[in-house]
Amino acid sequence: MLDFDILEYQERLERTKKSMEKQGIEVLLITDPANMNYLSGYDAWSFYVHQMLVVIIDEPQPIWIGRYMDATGAKSKTWMYDENIMAYPDYYVQSDRYHPMEFVAEILEEIGHGNRVIAVEKEQYYFTAKAYEVLKAKLPNATFKDGTLLVNWVRIHKSDQEIEYMRKAAMIAERSMQAGLQSIHTGSRECDAAASIFFELVKGTEEFGGDYPSIVPMLPTGENTSTPHLTWSDAYFEEGNSVIVELAGCYKRYHCPLARTAFIGQPPEYHHRLASIVAEGMEEVIAKVKPGIYLEELEEAWRKSTRKYGIEKESRLGYSLGLNYPPDWGEHTASIRKGDKTVLQPNMTFHFIPGIWEDHYGLEMSESFRVTETGIELFTNYPRELLVQSPFQLPDGSNGIIS
């Protein structure tokens, strides 16, 4: 039932404890669902209520704390003993009288850790300002530290098994992109294309099924290509529309994102030109990737390449990537941008997405990659160009790409 060998979970835990030791942390309260999964195997859509994994520096197993109805799932999906699964009653859920962190504080006191150095993930979606206030009030003898990203930084080094999962996610990403592009023509609505993409993402292949991506497919169309995070509407596609397709295949919560830009009909020359500038910049970056360099050197390569065409990019070029849950598939650690001194090492993985968003038009092309012993492995294999689409669905249903 576990997605990884139990030894892999234990090795992850050891690396986490080493980092805790270095930072003087005795008890780490983990509320990021990806970090919980990474260390315990727990995978469920229960992160909309409070839950956590408690890692105690001198205990061999973490403790899972969550809602009563989710404890059965925690027992079956984690490698820990059943007595390390602890559940709070339902009256704590979304209540104006009780808070689950009161329950957590009581447990920590009971098992003798109420007076230790406790770290919480302060900058994390599922750890609220209120949760922290309650913990501090109920554990007056604890010393609190910030444990944000501690486990995320452990996650940045992927195992071969994790890479294998990302390769499967990549296969799903390619198929989903193809299905989406087939649905982009004037007889189809944005929601129809999004539906086709979702179908492939979740179905996966004959050999293995897909998982839900942490971000829904983005499909900004026409003027909306100038803004990256609008989701689909039910408008029909029109000849002359640009359409950005940004999606991620997902396998056992491991992601492989892929973005491309399509044009319905014959694009203005400028669109082709922008696409080839971006493609050239991407080539320069891809050629540069190898162990030992700083991440910011990739940004520098991009800047050098595109500056000569007058392209200035305000936002970062990408980020570390892997296991995640909504609302984000990025790991929030290393970013491909100026000033990032992360040194590239084998089995680090990134989404490289140099999106260009102008006032009335935008273009996205992206690659997800792994750093190898000597260079780079691209996870997907998809033409890196503006994808010119026939406006009409062809009789053989092939539609799709005409150039």
Q: Residues 247 to 306: which contact a copy of itself by CB under 8 A?
A: none
Regarding 37 and contact with a copy of itself (CB under 8 A), the answer is no
What is the C-alpha separation between 145 and 119, in angstroms, rounded? Answer: 4
Regarding 212 and contact with a copy of itself (CB under 8 A), the answer is yes
Residue of 380, 374, 315 whose CA lies nearest to 345: 374
Residue 79 or 127 having the CB closest to a copy of itself: 127
**For residue 96, what are its two tokens?**
């104006």
Among 12, 17, 77, 255, binds a copy of itself (CB under 8 A): 77
CA 189, chain centre distance (Å): 27
Nearest distance from residue 270's CB to a copy of itself, in Å? 19
Regarding 238 and contact with a copy of itself (CB under 8 A), the answer is no
Regarding 129 and contact with a copy of itself (CB under 8 A), the answer is yes
What is the C-alpha separation between 38 and 16, in angstroms, rounded? Answer: 11
Task: Give the footprint of a copy of itself on residues 179-198 (CB under 8 A).
Answer: 189-192, 194-196, 198
Regarding 117 and contact with a copy of itself (CB under 8 A), the answer is no
Q: How many residues bind a copy of itself (CB under 8 A)?
A: 81
Regarding 204 and contact with a copy of itself (CB under 8 A), the answer is yes
What is the C-alpha separation between 198 and 216, in angstroms, rounded? Answer: 8
Regarding 232 and contact with a copy of itself (CB under 8 A), the answer is yes
Residue 216 or 371 having the CB closest to a copy of itself: 216
Regarding 15 and contact with a copy of itself (CB under 8 A), the answer is no
What is the C-alpha separation between 279 and 287, in angstroms, rounded? Answer: 12
What is the C-alpha separation between 369 and 352, in angstroms, rounded? Answer: 8
Q: Give the three-state DSSP class for 327.
A: coil
Residue 162 or 190 having the CB closest to a copy of itself: 190
Q: What is the CA radius of gyration of the chain?
A: 23
Regarding 315 and contact with a copy of itself (CB under 8 A), the answer is yes
β-strand partners of 88: 67
Regarding 122 and contact with a copy of itself (CB under 8 A), the answer is yes
Q: Per-residue string for binding with a copy of itself, 92-111, x by CB under 8 A?
A: -xxx----------------
Q: Is residue 234 within 8 Å of residue 203, measured between CB atoms? A: no
Regarding 69 and contact with a copy of itself (CB under 8 A), the answer is yes
Task: Give the footprint of a copy of itself on residues 39-58 (CB under 8 A).
Answer: 43-48
Q: Which residue has the tokens 């070029």?
A: 317
Nearest distance from residue 51's CB to a copy of itself, in Å? 10
Residue 94 or 398 having the CB closest to a copy of itself: 94
Regarding 86 and contact with a copy of itself (CB under 8 A), the answer is no
Beta strands per DSSP E along 222-366: 242-251, 254-264, 318-321, 330-335, 349-352, 356-357, 362-363
Peptide bond preceding 327: is omega within 30 degrees of 0, i.e. cis? yes
